Structure 1
Amino acid sequence: MRSPSVIKRKARSAKRAKFQIAFACDVLRLEVTDSECTNFQHRNLEWLRELLTPGLLAANPGVNLVDFLGPETTEELQERMGDSALAAYREDPATAWAQNYDAKDFGCVDWYVQQFCNSELVIGFELPPVIKRCIHARGQRYLDLRIHPLRFLRDLCFSATTNDPLIFAALSKIEVDSHEITHQVHRYRAMFRRRLMPVFAIPPGLPVLVGQTAVDSAIIQDGQFMNWSDYADRLQSELNDFDSLVFMEHPSQPSSTQITEFLRGSLEKTIISTNVNSYGVLLSNKSIPKVITLSSSLGVEAQAMGFETKFLLADPRNKFLVLDCDLAAEIPIGHGLFEPSFWAEVLHVTGERHYSQDPSSNSFSFGENYARNSLDQWAYAALQHDLGQAAGRKTLIPALGLNSFCRDSLLGGMLSYKATPLAPAQAMQLAHKTGLQIELLDPPMEIGEHRTVDMGGGSSKTYFVDGFHPPEAWGYWSSEIRSCIYIPVSKRAVALGALLKLRLHIFIYSGLIASAPVLRIRHSGDTSGYVFFRPGMPDTHVVEVSVLANSELVQLTFELTGLESPYSLKESGDIRWLGFGVREFEIFCEASSDTRIEIQNERGLSVWGFSPEPLNYKIHGRGS
C-alpha cells in the first residue's frame, strides 16, 4: 500500500482533488499563552486519521486526506475569531470554549468550515454542535466520531453521528454485536466475584455516584459547565431513602472536596469517597441499588452491568446528538470502521474490491485492543495487568450525627463484603494489610462546638485539602503559592448564622525568611489579614480570624509571596517546595449575635509581624 497523501492545512483553502476528505476537530478547545495557542485535539485528529487511512486508501487509492487544524498563534486566533474571542480565551479558556461549543451563531467557526468547501466528506473527531450545524447548513456530508462510552469491551469502539442517510445505513451494518457486551460483562464479573478483593468492597445497599472531570464536553449545557449542585432537588429525591452513599472520584479530577462537601453539607449524607478502580467496585458488589451520574460514560457501563442508572444531565449516548442535523443516536461501532468495505460504501466506490474479511462476522476483527493500545488505557489497564496490585483510598466523610455503630458498620463494609462492623483502629490496621488506605474525616461543625484539630492524624485532611503537602507528625507545610483550608459546617448552623473563630499557629520556612515573605488571608473575596515575616522577628504567629459560615463549606484562602526548596538551597535532599507551616489549629463555632451584623458592615483587618500583638484595623464596606 502506498503512503497516504496527507496534507495539514490551517487558514488556506485546499485545491480541488480527485476525491478529498477533510479531517476536522474541535478547534474551539484552546489553551492560550502569551503568543501561542495549543489544542490537544490536533493530536487526537492525527491519531484518528492514522487508524482510518488503510481502509480509506484500500477503498479508493486516489483519495486525498487533509487535516484542518485550528489557530496555533494568538495572532491567528485574533484574525479568525476577533479581539473579543482572544480576550475571552486569555481570561478563561475553558469558559470561552463552553460558551462557543453549542452556539447558534456560526461566527466563531465559519472561518474554519469555509476551508472544507472542496471536500466531498468531512470526518470529524468530537466535533462541537456549532461546527456540525455549520457544515450541515453548507450542504456538506459529515461523519463525526468519538470513543463510545462502553470502554470495557474487547477493544475501544467508536460511536458516530452523521447527517447523511447513506453513511447512516453503512454504520448500522458495523454495529457491535450485543453478545460482545454481554460476554464481556460476565467475563469480568466472574473474575471479580471469584476474587472478592477487599479493596473493592463497599457497604451493601448504598447508591453509587460517579464523578467526572469539571471541564468536559459531556457536562456543557447552555454555554456553561454543569455540576452536582445544579441538580440538588433531583439528587435529594433520588437519595431520599439513603443516609449514606459511595462517591467514585474521577482519576483526572485533582480534588473532589467541593462535591463531597456539597453532598454532605447540603444533602446531609454520609459519604464514602474512593479512588479505587471503578470497574472493580461495580463488578464486585451485587447489591448496589442505583448508580447516579451527571453524564459519565461509566453510567452507560453500569447500565450494561445491569444496574439501575440515573443520568442527571444526559445519557452520553444521546448527549452529542444534534437534533436539527444528526440522523439518530450514537451506536457502538466495531472494527468494521477500519475495513475497506465500509469506506467503499461511504465513498460510492464501485467495481472489484478486495477486503480482508466480512466485518459483520466479528465486531473486533483486527484483534483485542487494536485501537485501545494506541491510546491511554484508563481504568481498563488494571483488568488486563494490574489487578493483583490493586490499591487505593477510601475516605469516610461522616454527616452530622452519624453514630458510632453506623460509622463502624460503614467502615466494615469498606473492607469486607460481609460488612462486619469495625472500630476505626481495627479498620485502619486491616486496611494496611490489604494495601488499602482508609481515612476517617471529622463531621461538620455545630454551634457551640470547640474543636482542636489532630494535626498529625488522618482526620486533619478534612481541612487541609488544597495546596498542602501530606501531614507530618507536627502538622502541615504549604506546597503552593495559593493554599486553602476548608471547614465543614452543619446545614443547621449555617441557617442559624454561625460564626467561626479560627486560631492557627503559623510559621514560615526558614529558607524564605531572608526574602521577607508576606502571607495574605482571604475569605469570601475579602482580605481578613496579613502575616509579615522578617529577619529578627518571631517566626511563628498565633493568627486568629473570625468568619461567617455563609455555606456548608467555609473556605479560607492563603496567598504567600513565594516558596523555596531545601534542595535548591543545598540544605538537604528534600526536593519539596515549602512555604508556611501550620502546627496548631482550633475552631470555635458560635451562635449568631450582633457580631454577625458588625462583621458584615465593618470588617476587621489584622496585621501580624510588626509587634508582639496583632494590629487591628476597621475597614468600612467591602473590598480588599
Structure 2
Amino acid sequence: MGAPSFSRVVVTGDLLRPFFVGARVESATWKNVRWLHGMLEAPLRASGLTARMLAWDERGAPETTAFFDTPSLYDALGLDLDLASWAALCADGRTPQALVEMLAPQVEDALVIGYELPPPLIAALERLGRPVVDLILHPVRFMPDLIFALRTNVPAWDAWLRARRLDEAAIAERAGHIRAKAAWMAAPMPLPPGTALVLGQVASDRAMIQADGGFASLERHCAFLHELCCRHPRVLFRPHPYAAPDDPCERAIARLPAIRRTDANFYHLLAQPELTTVVALNSSGLIEARHFGRESINLMPWLYDFDACAPAADGRTGTPVPLSSAWATAAFWRGLLQDDAQASPAPLPDHTLRRAMNADWGYGFIERICA
C-alpha cells in the first residue's frame, strides 16, 4: 500500500460481538466506539478530517453514527447471533464475503480507526484496500495513565509509529516505585517464600478463543494446577473482577482445596517478595508480573505480541506499537498523516485516558499507596 487516499475517517470497533441483556441481544462494543470517537473527533477535526462512527448501535444518532446491521450479517452467514458464532468467526482464518460486501459501502474513501478490531474485520478492510489504524489496550495498567498500542497496514505510518515507541524502561521504574512504597505497608496477608498466584480471566474474552473456535478455561489445566500446589508452599487464586457467577476458572479452583482464594489488590500482591510465580491462561497480569521480577507462566498463547516488531507490508497490518497518550492529540495525527519525521507530540496529562475510559483495574489502590 502506497500513500493512502481518503477524505474522511470512520471510527469503529468489533462490530461482530454480541452481548446479552436478559433475552435481548445488542452490541458488546458500542460504548468502545463512542469512547474512541469522543477521544479523536476533535483532534482529527483539527487536521481537517470529519470522523463518523460505524457501529451496531441501536441508539446511535444518524448525524454521527452509521448503523452496521450485525444481526443481518449473521443471518446471511447462516449463524446464530451468539458468542459461540462470534468466537468461530474470530478463529476462522477465512474472511466471509458477506462481511466484505457489507463493509464496502460503509468505508468507501475512508481511513478506518478502530478499537481492538478482530481478525475478520482487519482482513476484510485489508481486502478492500482501506488504510487502517487499530488501537489496542496494552497489558500494563499500573502506569500514571493507560498505555495503548497502535498498529496499521500503511508502511510509512508504521515506521512513524515505531520511531515513537514507548520507552519501556519507564515501566520497570514505575514497578520499582510501587515495590518501594509497599515496603512500608503491612502485607495483605502472611505469605511463605515461594508463594504462587493464579489469575482468573473473563471466560468469554477474545483472548480466550482457541484455534478450534471454543473458549479456553483453567478447567483444562487442573493437572498443572495440582502440580503447582506440589511445587509451592502456598498457591493463591485471584478471580477476575468481571467474572460471571458461573465462572469456569472458579470451578477449576474449587477442585483443588489447597488453593486459597483472595481478593487482595493485585499490585499489592506483586510487590510482596514472597510471591515468586504468577500463572494464568494468558492474562495481562502476567506481563505486569514480569516487570515486578516475578516468574510468569502462560498456559495458552497471547492474543497480541507487544514485543514483536513485524512491520506493515503489502497491505497487511503490522504488529502493535506501544505509545504514550499523545495518540489522542491533534499534534499526533498531524504528524502521522503528514509523515512529519520531526514531530514529537507531547502526551496528555496523567490519568486522562484512564478517566475517560472509566477504567481503574486496581490503579486506585496504587494511587493511594504511591501518593
Aligned residue for 1:132? 122
Aligned residue for 1:67? 53
**Shift in alpha-carbon separation, 1:259–1:46, aligned structure 2, 3 A:** closer
Runs (5+) with no aligned partner, structure 2:
60-67
CA distance in 2, matches of 1:133, 1:341: 29
Aligned residue for 1:533? none
**Shift in alpha-carbon separation, 1:320–1:141, aligned structure 2, 3 A:** farther
Return the offset for 1:331.
Answer: 3.3
From 162, 166, 172, give the equivalent of 1:182.
172
**Shift in alpha-carbon separation, 1:18–1:128, aligned structure 2, 3 A:** closer
Q: Partner amino acid for 2:83?
A: A
What's the secondary structure of 2:136's corresponding residue?
strand
Conserved? CA contact 1:149–1:301, under 8 Å:
yes
Return the offset for 1:21.
Answer: 1.3
Let me know the Cα RMSD of the aligned residues: 3.5
CA distance in 1, matches of 2:56, 2:8: 19
**Shift in alpha-carbon separation, 1:21–1:102, aligned structure 2, 3 A:** farther
From 320, 329, 346, give the equivalent of 2:319.
329
From 195, 204, 218, give the equivalent of 1:215.
204
Conserved? CA contact 2:140–2:288, under 8 Å:
yes
Return the offset for 1:259.
Answer: 3.2
Q: Which has the higher contact order (CA 8 A, sep 6+)?
A: 2
CA distance in 1, matches of 2:70, 2:304: 32
Farther-moved stretch of structure 1 (156-165 vs 29-38):
29-38
Q: Does 1:94 align with 2:83?
A: yes
The structure having more radius of gyration, on CA atoms, is 1
Aligned residue for 2:263? 275
So what's the TM-score if we normalise by structure 2? 0.83
**Shift in alpha-carbon separation, 1:44–1:200, aligned structure 2, 3 A:** farther
So what's the TM-score if we normalise by structure 1? 0.51
Aligned residue for 1:80? 73
CA distance in 2, matches of 1:126, 1:20: 20
Return the offset for 1:40.
Answer: 3.9
Aligned residue for 1:301? 288
Deviations 1:212-254 (A, max 9, x none): 1111011112212100123345555655523641111111114
Conserved? CA contact 2:306–2:321, under 8 Å:
no
Deviations 1:571-620 (A, max 9, x none): xxxxxxxxxxxxxxxxxxxxxxxxxxxxxxxxxxxxxxxxxxxxxxxxxx
Q: Partner amino acid for 1:130?
A: P
Q: Partner amino acid for 1:221?
A: Q
Deviations 1:71-130 (A, max 9, x none): 649x944533316756x22xxx22222122233242463244213442342111011111
CA distance in 1, matches of 2:191, 2:169: 29
Return the offset for 1:132.
Answer: 0.5
Q: Summarize the alignment of residues 429-448 of structure 1 with structure 2, pairs less than 5 Å apart.
A: none
Return the offset for 1:310.
Answer: 1.1
From 12, 29, 44, give the equivalent of 1:24.
12
CA distance in 2, matches of 1:288, 1:256: 28
Conserved? CA contact 2:114–2:133, under 8 Å:
yes
**Shift in alpha-carbon separation, 1:175–1:369, aligned structure 2, 3 A:** same
What's the secondary structure of 1:195's corresponding residue?
coil
Return the offset for 1:201.
Answer: 4.3
**Shift in alpha-carbon separation, 1:27–1:108, aligned structure 2, 3 A:** farther
CA distance in 1, matches of 2:164, 2:14: 25
**Shift in alpha-carbon separation, 1:46–1:178, aligned structure 2, 3 A:** same
Q: Does 1:384 align with 2:360?
A: no
Q: Partner amino acid for 1:230?
A: R
Q: Does 1:310 align with 2:303?
A: no
Return the offset for 1:135.
Answer: 1.0
